[in-house]
Amino acid sequence: MRYAIGVEYDGGGFRGWQRLTQPGVEDESTVQGVLEKALSSVADAPVDTVCAGRTDAGVHARCQVVHFDSAVARDLRAWTLGATTRLPPSVSVTWCRQVAADFNARFSARARRYRYRILNRQVRPALGRQWLSWHWRPLDASAMHRAAQALLGEHDFGAFRSSECEAAHGRRELQRIAVSREGDVVTIDVQANAFLHHMVRNIVGSLLEVGAGARGEAWMGELLAGRDRRLAGPTAPAAGLVFVGPLYPPDAGLPAEVTLA
């Protein structure tokens, strides 16, 4: 049987999602490693997982979706609570659903969503610092929002692709990007069919240049057209980034938080 689970985690203490060792070898340094260890304990048999979107070191997830196969008889509550009790406090399984045999957490997703939050004040944060990036220069969130709209649509996002990216090509469809401010916190919400390695953090790094007045609003469109990573802004820190979750068609039978309206 195939199952899908929702997983939330604080990525601050991990080296990212992806397991660093071979299946069957314990890896306590990655989210995938500790999750597979917990699920394997519940199943009393090895369990391998596939996620919707791999996250880097220090990046968090509100609802990472993961699928796995198991032949053992366990109810959904046992998978959810049994795995969570075997996980470190920074990782929880929030729900479990039995899904069709052809469901794939990665390839069945139609969109993925990220949120980046910046504390914009002169003094660095003491509380909540694992969830926030910090930028001391005053930022014009409205200018950042207007500039970001040039990225909407299907494009080659080579200007915002890391040198370590292993994707076959840089074409992605950016479906939504919004920049807003509430008090001292600037929030950037991004949705796309898929993302390149460091794509969100590289977009944020460039938008910071616009928000601080170092670059004009038209610069984002120029970067996109030029497809030259060397000309874009620096990669923003990982701490402010949260993988909000993927979105699937309604017939997947998953909770509303990961289902297309």
Give catalytic residues, as residue numbers.
Answer: 56
Nearest CA among 135, 156, 141, 144 for reference residue 220:
144
**Residue 21: what residue type?**
T
Q: How many CA atoms lie within 13 A of 33 on its CB side?
A: 16
Q: At 25, is the secondary structure helix, strand, or coil?
A: coil
C-alpha span between 169 and 149 (Å, rounded): 22
Nearest CA among 34, 29, 28, 71 for reference residue 49:
34
Nearest CA among 158, 119, 114 for reference residue 138:
119
